[in-house]
Amino acid sequence: MLEFLNAIGPVTVTGLFGIILWRLQAADADRKANRAKSDERMARIEANTAKLADHDLELATLTDIMEKLKEGIDTNGEGFKVIMRYMLQRYHAEYMIQGYITSHQLTEFLEAYEIYKAKGGNGTAKGWKEEICALSVRDDLHPGNPYLEMFKNKGETK
């Protein structure tokens, strides 16, 4: 039996070293595969980080654009309110000079007044509205434009 053990001893040791070497090579291959996967993940993370940075830059740019648009809209809204107030003032003057109002003129004035009011117009136009609504409604008359009449009269005096 001793001879048998002496005969298979080196083979057994060689076999054990072979198994150990095979396991080490498999572990090394697994480590390389895991390293490659880790490198791929890291590359994707870096790419996504770059995309996020670009996205953040675009978002900041869009935020700036939106702020500028809001400023423009607010400015335009204030300008629109001024124009509406001027229209109401002109309507008021025209209808007061006229001395009466047609139902069509009243509708136009009230529509303009509601838009002005919705834009945050002040109480000045409210007084004009009350005076206009106090005028008698005359659909039997067809008024001319007093401003055109003034221009005509101005041209005749020259």
Residue 9: which residues within 8 A CB-CB, separation 6 or more? Answer: none
User: What integer pLDDT is reported at residue 91 of this predicted model?
Assistant: 94
Distances (CA, A) of 158 to 7, 147, 150: 140, 17, 13
Cβ distance 132 to 101 under 8 Å?
A: yes
Question: How many Cα atoms occupy the beta-carbon half-sphere of 141 within 13 Å?
Answer: 13
Q: Look at residue 156 in the predicted model and tell me its pLDDT.
A: 66
Residue 112 confidence (pLDDT):
94
Name the residue with tokens 């919705």: 118
- Chain position carrying tokens 């697994």: 30
Q: What's the farthest any 2 CA atoms get from each other in the chain?
A: 147
What residue ranges of the chain have pLDDT lower than 50?
none
Radius of gyration of the chain (CA): 45
How many alpha carbons fall within 13 Å on the CB side of residue 9? 7
What number of other Cβ atoms are within 10 A of residue 18's Cβ?
10
pLDDT digits (tens, 9 = 90+) for 62-106: 899 999 999 988 888 888 889 999 999 999 999 999 999 999 999
